[in-house]
Structure 1
């Protein structure tokens, strides 16, 4: 695996204090996406207002939060586009039950055509609060096809009902199950990948494996990951109002998952703060230029390189946070999935 090279955005050292800079303009597909999202939000507000006038609002904060989570999860755990238009054909997709940290856990297994070599644990994003087996269906189809590996997508427990460390504990249980399956059927190698909050979980699993707390992945593939807890970076300020993700929403997601102040600094939530990064598996870190979390991925790539870990880092110009989910009409999304699959294929073949 090559060292850090070919970045679309130059890498530089960052201080703890955010600095002002001029935000980059999203590319054309991103601008069209933002316009579509704003239009959908206007329709939803009109529809919600009509419903509230007929049924009345929840009577207390707990009921209101519960109702909000139901609506949020229903909206977010759906593919961005009809699967027949956006996914790619693979041999088989199986919904199954695997052991979780606190009991059985639903998961989906994606099997590509041809000889299957290796297994990838893919951990979905969604701020530890939403998304699931449906929202990332097409992403996993494409990674399975591009990598030639089996891909497991676990339905880990979500916050705020299940705060830290529920998500990472379920992810570790899924990785252990997948390692056993890979040893029986697919050559024994496993890798971890994820986007956003899922990238956080994948990075933690890589550190767990190095420490003997679970299987050791041969590679970690991190798409626009959250890695540093409350530590601030320049991109947090530059894009604090957000294109799709804002600094305020980042704080809200963190507050749902982290319920004890000391956990904000825990290495199983903020893996970038781990002082010892030596001996970790090779990493591919992909970020989006117009994303408040961009500099977290950049900083982690630099830290891994300083620790002697092989790293490939790419930042896609004009791309937004969560651009993978909109790969159906965003060229950068398809390119990032193809690239990730290509590197995974090499890792499993080596």
Structure 2
């Protein structure tokens, strides 16, 4: 239940940090938020999907799970065929998809040595966050029902981290066996309008603009049930062993610290890793950097250890 700080930086990350802080964050502050602008953001994933080169070390197959389009990613070195990873991409519930996040999803599958399902959940402005959660939970239920896996890990970056947390909450609500581990890369964990965050030191996110997206987040057709804030003890008590990666100073570092405090209170094993000089969701955004590789490696190691410990506890209680 520790907080680990990482201070190593490389030139690539340094340049990207200041480029984002000076240019991208400024653009995100001034770009108008409208239905038309949000719909055009879908072009980002279409552009990324044009790269059809094979991803090293994995096989990627387009599929559908519980009616949700997905990439089924299988590492060539399949160390844990009975462990599945359900990955949910970030993008503020309005952008990105399978194309933009194929590399990070493949890296997680490759490092863990387990099959991974990267889902293309429905997004705003067409639908609200409740529908995105509905899609993620439907896929999770289908993976559980299949009987193909002894353990399921939920993982996501940014907005995808929120979906993963809601899957945990929904499973507990319904009496369904919950996930066996949680991986969050700069996860958004609190959608409450009362969330107290500062983006002063965040190189990328002007977090105050989230409120401008709320009308789109609240669209149907599926309601968003349960807690808007998933960092409280009432949700944390259902969490499995959890590893969270954040950039130092980013706005969502507060979400991570709040979740960690609740996990500690209810006795859930967890690690929080804070990387200096990085941007929001850097394992997904700066794939291949030393810090991104390190974050993915230690996340996979945490999950492997958690699953081994769970097996020991099951054997002891048998």
1:224 matched to 2:191? The reply is: no
Partner of 1:29: 12
1:291–1:336 CA distance, 2 compared to 1 (3 A)? same
1:213-251 Cα offsets, whole Å, 9 max, x none, are 544111111111112222343x51533xx4221123333
Residues 115-126 of structure 1 correspond to what in structure 2 (within 5 A)?
115=78, 116-126=81-91
1:268-305 Cα offsets, whole Å, 9 max, x none, are 43212463532431111211113111111111111111
Between Structure 1 and Structure 2, how many residues are aligned? Answer: 297
* Contact map agreement 2:45 2:98 (CA 8 A) in 1: no
Partner of 1:127: 92
1:194 matched to 2:124? The reply is: no
* Contact map agreement 1:220 1:281 (CA 8 A) in 2: yes
* Contact map agreement 1:328 1:334 (CA 8 A) in 2: yes
Structure 1 residue ranges (4+ consecutive) displaced by more than 4 angstroms after TM superposition: 34-41, 76-85
Residues 308-319 of structure 1 correspond to what in structure 2 (within 5 A)?
308-319=267-278
Alpha-carbon distance between aligned partners in 2 of 1:330 and 1:114, rounded to the nearest angstrom: 22
Alpha-carbon distance between aligned partners in 1 of 2:282 and 2:182, rounded to the nearest angstrom: 19
> TM-score scaled by structure 1?
0.74
Q: Helix, strand or coil: the match of 2:187?
A: coil
Alpha-carbon distance between aligned partners in 2 of 1:81 and 1:300, rounded to the nearest angstrom: 37
1:88 matched to 2:48? The reply is: no
* Contact map agreement 1:122 1:152 (CA 8 A) in 2: yes
Q: Helix, strand or coil: the match of 2:96?
A: coil
* Contact map agreement 2:244 2:271 (CA 8 A) in 1: yes
Alpha-carbon distance between aligned partners in 1 of 2:212 and 2:178, rounded to the nearest angstrom: 32
Q: CA RMSD in A?
A: 3.2
Q: Which residue of 68, 71, 76 maps to 2:40? A: 71
Partner of 2:165: 203
Q: Which residue of 85, 92, 109 maps to 1:144? A: 109
1:293 matched to 2:252? The reply is: yes
**Bigger radius of gyration among the two:** 1
Q: Helix, strand or coil: the match of 1:238?
A: coil
* Contact map agreement 2:109 2:116 (CA 8 A) in 1: yes
1:226–1:70 CA distance, 2 compared to 1 (3 A)? same
> TM-score scaled by structure 2?
0.81
**More divergent stretch after superposition (329-338 vs 64-73):** 64-73
1:172 matched to 2:137? The reply is: yes
Alpha-carbon distance between aligned partners in 1 of 2:252 and 2:72, rounded to the nearest angstrom: 29
Gap regions ≥5 residues in structure 1: 10-25, 45-60
Residues 254-269 of structure 1 correspond to what in structure 2 (within 5 A)?
254-259=214-219, 267-269=226-228
1:248 matched to 2:208? The reply is: yes
**More divergent stretch after superposition (215-224 vs 142-151):** 215-224
* Contact map agreement 2:12 2:289 (CA 8 A) in 1: yes
Alpha-carbon distance between aligned partners in 2 of 1:231 and 1:76, rounded to the nearest angstrom: 31
Gap regions ≥5 residues in structure 2: 312-318
